[in-house]
Amino acid sequence: MKCNTAILTAVAVGILSVRANPVSIDARIGPSPAPSFLKCLEQKYPQYPKEGNPSPQDFRDCLGKGKAKSKREESHSDVGDDELIYEPETDDTVQRRGIVDLTNILGKNLGLKKHAECDKVDGGVHNEFMWAADIVKKAKNACEEIRKQIEATGLKEDGGVGAFIDHLTDGHNKRGHQLKDKCKLTAHYFINFVPPAKATTEQIKAIASGVNDLCSHGIERIMSKDEGCAQDINYYRPSKASHFTDPAAVDGLLEMYFGGYEDTVATLRVDFQDDS
């Protein structure tokens, strides 16, 4: 897995809750920090880390070697216990356009169910993840690919199945205390369309068209917090000296109904997988 580390780093000092050097969890409990950082500490504590007890100021002094930083940037003492350090490459945001969750097909309601079912295993957000807003940006394209696949294989009395696999290179990694960018992971989009019994071919096509129209809105609902599966990640931006919270994507599914609310006609699912 290849990821680019975000701009700034910080050092852990236990009693002051100063953040750890941004390496993976495995690295933090095993291999040493970056050589330049160790070399600085070893000048004062030759047997470190086996022996020696560097003070908070020792860590700060070594962090600053070779790079000019303000005192605030060196310590990041404003970072909370549940926060990561992150400096986005851009400040682009997605304005929620409002989810359309109901349409009328053949005189009956075709709609999205109000709440998604979520796979929040092991805390929910994968170590490699996408921001929910970035998945919303990709929703229309994913749904269009699914539509073309279903049409290519042909709609039948038992409906159709469409899947789209998107190999992403703009993911993030939250191992350690600093988010990393440009991580590889795979998004899986899946629709299972099962039309009502005894529906004619023309009716099936009409319902399928409605399912496709609601598809991107369904992905947006899965990527929401209150009705969907997104989960907040707290982070601190050194350049702004401010705290932020953004929702990260979590695996989930959402059903669509036709006629009665309990009459499921389609299931939309989104899953993520580490592509390392």
Q: Strands of 231-237's sheet, edge to edge?
A: 83-85, 231-237, 242-248
Classify residue 188 as exposed, middle or buried by CB count within 10 Å of its CB (0-12, 13-18, 19+).
middle
pLDDT reported for residue 65: 37
* Together in a domain, 16 and 138: no
pTM given for the model = 0.67
Domain end, chosen from 53, 85, 117, is at: 85
Classify residue 132 as exposed, middle or buried by CB count within 10 Å of its CB (0-12, 13-18, 19+).
buried
* Together in a domain, 68 and 141: no
Percent helix, strand, coil in the chain (nearest 5)? 30, 30, 40
Instruction: Give 120-179 pLDDT, tens digit per residue.
Output: 655 678 888 999 999 999 999 999 999 998 888 777 777 888 889 899 999 998 887 888
* Together in a domain, 71 and 149: no
pLDDT reported for residue 61: 60
Q: How many structural domains comprise the chain?
A: 2
* Together in a domain, 31 and 77: yes
- Measured CA to CA, the distance from residue 229 to residue 249 in angstroms comes to 7
Q: What percent of the chain has pLDDT over 70?
A: 64
Instruction: Give 80-129 pLDDT, tens digit per residue.
Output: 555 555 455 655 544 455 788 999 999 999 999 999 999 765 567 888 89
Q: Give the rounded distance of the alpha carbon of 61 from its chain centre.
A: 35
- Measured CA to CA, the distance from residue 13 to residue 205 in angstroms comes to 62
- pLDDT at residue 247 above 50? yes
Range of the domain at 236: 102-274
Cβ-proximal residues to 29 (8 Å cutoff; 6+ apart), any chain: none
Contact 270, 185 (CB under 8 A): no
